[in-house]
Structure 1
Amino acid sequence: MKIVPFKAVRPARDKVALVTTRSYDEYTPAELASQLDYNPFSFLHVLNPAYLNQQKLSEAVRFKAVHTRYTEFKDDEVLRQEATPVFYLYEIQSKSRVFTGIIAGTAIEDYKQNRIKKHEDTLPYRVEYFKDYLHQTGFNTEPVLVTYPQHKGLEEWIIARKQRRPLYLFSSLNRDKHTLWRIRDEQEIAWIQEQFSGMESLYIADGHHRSASSELLFDQYGQDGNASLGYFMSFLICESNLKIYEYNRVVSGLNGLSARQFVEALEVDFEVTNRHLELWKPEQKFEFGMYLEDEFYSLKLRDTAFKSVLEALDAQILYDKILHPLLGITDLRNDGRIDYIPGSRPITTIKETVDEGHCTVGFMLYPASIDEIKQLADNDLIMPPKSTYIEPKLRSGLVVYEL
């Protein structure tokens, strides 16, 4: 497995807390307006360059404007480029967890040869869109989240490396603490590369569209002599350090069934227990929670014998046993009756969504394990859409990979 250091672009040290942002899509309109109105250093100004004049730009014009704004941030030294290629060690500390990984370039060739493995499908239009974005803006600031197996040597190195003075130490507005160490010693870089060279496989946890877009960009322009196109920026994290949440489902309507008829139909495949007002959620695999007409239910699958890891995946079981045959949902991506709520949000979110009449029934799942994800990837199988919500979620504008 080949990983490489790169001449990253990053914020000036005194501005890093002001520059970095959550992913653009995570902001509510009010939050976005607040950041853009009152923080001139926010990387959101790069990502949304038309904010000040409220223009609706064509795709090509917008991408060019993003590139121009990015260049202005560099000219004003809000962003600065490393003098030599480097790795970074990056730690995110929240109230409940600490995530630590290495920011590096991972090889498109390893991705093509399926040594960097996938478990999610991609949408061609999104891959094409982000490929054009990368090509015209000339940079990427969203690392692909990639996992590696337990490695004692890297674990010991990380513990020791954290004892040194960091390049950055700052807190974000959600009270997470961020620490970044720069790795520029050639011998240390070579040692890290050697550890990864002995690994047979890496696994994409999050960022399937970003990696697929990087591959497409390489296929179209990789022969132009730009070596950076042969790699995409990744956050390499030990698989045991991930936090994998489920994606819960809420559905509008019961496909013509009454609530009583629906519960009776569920009893064919599940042991159904009325939990009344108990905020119940699954405690193990093959269990499902349901909220319907002001009451919670537990659903325990009766037959747990399956022929493949995909059939045994809880998200697939929910589709095969309930969503498709009982509720008539065939397209999990595009059917307007179904919506998804990440398991990182409290179970009361599902209750409120149903109680307020936005949906009729909510389903809670038990999260998939890293072993299930790896088995699916090893067998070239694809999870149903919105099967996992994986942390850490990385900040934009902290480290930029130029193309």
Structure 2
Amino acid sequence: MRKITVFTAALFLIILITIATANNVNNEIRLNPNYFFKSPYEEKLDLNIVTEEKILTLSPTGDFHYKNPLGLYSVISKSEPISKSLKINETTNTILQFDIKPNHMAIRLQDNDSVVFESMSDLLTSIDKNGVYPVVIDADWDRLDDKDYYGSLQYRVEFDVTLYPEIQIKTVDNFPGNILVLSISNIKDNYHTELTTDLSHGLISNAPMGDSLVYFIPIDIWAVAGDYILNFEIKNDADEIVANPSHTIKINDKDFVTQYLYISEEVYETTNSDAAYKEFREKVQTARSTSTLKKLWEGEFNLPVKDSYVLTTDYGEIRYVNDQITSSRHSGLDLAAPTGTEIYACNSGNVVLSEYLILTGNTIIIDHGMGVFTSYYHMDTLSSQEGDFVNKGDFVGTMGSTGFSTGPHLHWSISIYNTYVNTWQVLEYDLLP
């Protein structure tokens, strides 16, 4: 009986060696090694991605080779794993844990094979927008004399990245009457923002641009110099607070010139009446109450007059009319030139008003998008009609002295909706560089 048992064991070993030899390629068994031997590495090839909140286990693809009890190399072949996702942000501490530490590791974005990162922190630092990023992790174990394994495995994961919204102030110098331009980055489609501030301002315009939200804040012309705080509350669709970014903004002091204007009583009484102001509110302010969210202008704005002119009144001047005890602030630039001087669109946009009004005479208003409007008053003729789209530099009419006017000139102003702002700002700087 003992001879039969020894014989049987010997026969089994011969068959095993024969099978191994018949299937040996480069001293490796290509049969399933677990048919004969339980692999000590089978459960050690997964990769754990560890964060403060969870551990995500990834299974690899590729081949891992190890020596079996016969001294031959067996192969563990891993197939395509189920795709997994991990929610992270820029503060997430991400650690990669291997049971068997690889000799070499490369981390890259699936859509950009040319850039390889040595660590997860380097990869996360390179991401500057919200989104889902497929990530590939390549791990290699060298074939060394003192090791009984080698191989190359690949792990895949999708990072669902949510970056913290950040405030960026775009305007360097901020004065009363200027436009304070800022953006909040990393805004998702389901985010809703609300601004509270102690800064006096007009109606604010905000519009999405990419994954940012751009704000045009018309600073009140009467604003007092000093520091003011901008507080934003950002919520998602579930009414959960996502972020509360804040920023302190400095408003600089500015002096404005005082002007004393004299106009005939006849013109004053017929064009500066309650009826004139009622018509102005109904026509002009209504036309400037809604704006396309899309940016229509191109770069810096141009003066609408190309011929020689005289600047008779600047933006923000404190104006007294006919020695009245109360004053007003001039809302734009008065550019004086002969009647018939050609006037051009200072930038591209939609004509939202083109008609004669008692107060402003022949009037054109252009919506440049994102709450930015330009207004052209006291014109002699109108060559663009409501509903027209005009390009930067298009001819829109001629200069005149219609409405509340003392002589041929163009009153040209820019506003954020119905709040007039410093006209020179858009001539000297691109609102969205």
TM-score range, shorter chain: under 0.3
Pick the structure with more helix per residue: 1
* TM-score normalised according to structure 2 size: 0.25
Structure showing the higher strand proportion among its residues: 2
TM-score, with structure 1 as normaliser: 0.26
